[in-house]
Amino acid sequence: MTRKIIHIDMDAFFAAVEQRDFPQYLGKPLVVGGMPDSRGVVATCSYEARKFGIHSAMPSARAVQLCPQAIFVKPRFAAYQEASRQIREIFRQYTDLIEPPSLDEAYLDVSLATVCRGSAMLIAADIKKKITTTTELTGSAGVSYNKFLAKIASDLDKPNGIYLITPEQGPAFVETLPVGRFHGIGRATEKKMLALGIETGRDLKSCSRQLLLQQFGKVGNFYYDIARGIDNRPVNNKRRRKSFGVEMTFQQDIDNPELITRHFQDLLLKAMNKLQQRQLAARTITIKIKYANFDLITRSRTMNAPLTTVPCCSRLIAELLQKTELGSRKIRLLGVAFSSLEKQSQWRSGGRQLDLFS
């Protein structure tokens, strides 16, 4: 059966909430994120600010250069969470199959919905209307037959738009798309594809499954399928967190190995505390380093058994650090993340509580 998938994505989400709550920002270039005199980055910005070339993840210091009259505000997460809760409540009026990957977006499977004569386009329009009356914010909708294309579609008529990609249009649509625009192909993979001469969906489609598996590992299967407009991933309403971590940006770049190690120890304790609070156990530990020039590297280790103690994790971090250019490059951000998560009870032996600090 052909599915009916809707992807809803709010427009300039954090910035739109700020403009709604503080009307003096309406119509102005507004940046939400770090202050321009700090080392923070732009979380998002209003469409007025985007005209100046400002975008998410750009250093705020750069943003102010591009647009000196921009207004900078810090994020107010509680307000964004409340808006997010309101839109999810609206989604639930249409289907139980809702997967929200982040605060401002969600996939809805409305294949079995009977409202609006079962038309996904009418449902999307209805949802958009309700979002605006309830939250005074706008969102854009993508309607298609799988998650991959619905996500692409929601971006095509932004802001406050609605875009349909039919099963007939899907494959041709993917062909013209630059691989960098594919959701699921990150910056590093994009680079690698470009180096292999794969620039568009059409190029990707011309690659054999074997070649993609060889070059990219298991995810090559996904690339092979999406190049044909095929994506069978279900809308997963019970998704558990796959990873989480903590990170820290420094006011001043650091390169002293001892200091770096100390910061990692600190981050590790925080990350392990979070694991403990959520009663989770991890088998994979990853360190993340962003150098002063924004080059980002990660190094990780996966063990057969859960990582239960601080000394054990510290040792792994020390090992992973050996695989970096420790001491020879300036660093602006460090992070520690855990993944391959399981519930603690799945491996807790004899009902004994996890002994993090032994």
Instruction: Give the separation between CA 129 and CA 240, rounded to whole angstroms.
Output: 30
Instruction: Give the separation between CA 60 and CA 3, rounded to whole angstroms.
Output: 42
Range 295-322 burial, b when 16+ CB lie within 10 A, else e: eeeebbbeeeebbbeeeebeebbeebbe
Closest CA to 34 of 335, 332, 289, 331: 332
The window from 7-15, 60-68, 93-101, 297-305 that contacts ligand TTP (CB under 6 A) reads 7-15
Any contact of residue 9 with ligand TTP (CB under 6 A)? yes
Min CB(105)–ligand TTP separation in Å:
6
Q: How many Å separate Cα 355 from the centre of its chain?
A: 32
Instruction: Give the separation between CA 289 and CA 161, rounded to whole angstroms.
Output: 38
Residue 29 or 306 having the CB closest to ligand TTP: 29
Min CB(139)–ligand TTP separation in Å:
8
Min CB(101)–Mg ion separation in Å:
11
Residue 30 or 198 having the CB closest to ligand TTP: 30
Instruction: Decide: residue 154, CB within 10 A, 0-12 exposed, 13-18 middle, 19+ buried.
Output: buried
Q: Which residue has the tokens 């280790």?
A: 301
The window from 3-11, 73-81, 118-126, 343-351 that contacts Mg ion (CB under 5 A) reads 3-11
Residue 70, contacted partner among ligand TTP, Mg ion, none, CB below 5-8 A by kind: none
Min CB(315)–ligand TTP separation in Å:
33
Min CB(9)–Mg ion separation in Å:
4
> What is the x/- site pattern for ligand TTP, positions 329-348, by CB under 6 A?
--------------------
Apex 8 CA angle, 137 and 148, nearest 5: 155
Residue 13 or 148 having the CB closest to Mg ion: 13
The window from 3-11, 89-97, 202-210, 212-220 that contacts ligand TTP (CB under 6 A) reads 3-11
Instruction: Give the separation between CA 18 and CA 15, rounded to whole angstroms.
Output: 5
Residue 10 or 246 having the CB closest to Mg ion: 10
Min CB(83)–ligand TTP separation in Å:
10
Q: Where are the beta strands (DSSP E) in 178-258?
A: 243-254
Residue 158, contacted partner among Mg ion, ligand TTP, none, CB below 5-8 A by kind: ligand TTP
Q: Which of residues 89-148 bind Mg ion (CB under 5 A)?
A: 104
Instruction: Give the separation between CA 278 and CA 272, rounded to whole angstroms.
Output: 10
Closest CA to 107 of 242, 244, 233: 233
Any contact of residue 83 with ligand TTP (CB under 6 A)? no
Instruction: Give the separation between CA 35 and CA 183, rounded to whole angstroms.
Output: 29
Any contact of residue 10 with Mg ion (CB under 5 A)? yes
CB atoms within 10 A of CB 218: 7
Any contact of residue 11 with ligand TTP (CB under 6 A)? yes
Active-site annotation, residues: 105
Any contact of residue 63 with ligand TTP (CB under 6 A)? no
Any contact of residue 107 with ligand TTP (CB under 6 A)? no
Any contact of residue 9 with Mg ion (CB under 5 A)? yes
Q: Are 291 and 329 in contact (CB under 8 A)?
A: yes
The window from 8-16, 82-90, 145-153, 308-316 that contacts ligand TTP (CB under 6 A) reads 8-16
Instruction: Give the separation between CA 99 and CA 289, rounded to whole angstroms.
Output: 30
Any contact of residue 10 with ligand TTP (CB under 6 A)? yes
Instruction: Give the separation between CA 284 and CA 271, rounded to whole angstroms.
Output: 12
How many chain residues are in contact with ligand TTP, going by CB under 6 A? 13
Residue 56, contacted partner among Mg ion, ligand TTP, none, CB below 5-8 A by kind: ligand TTP
Any contact of residue 193 with Mg ion (CB under 5 A)? no
Give the DSSP letter of residue 59: B
Residues near ligand TTP (CB under 6 A)? 9-14, 43-44, 56-57, 104, 158-159
Residues near Mg ion (CB under 5 A)? 9-10, 13, 104
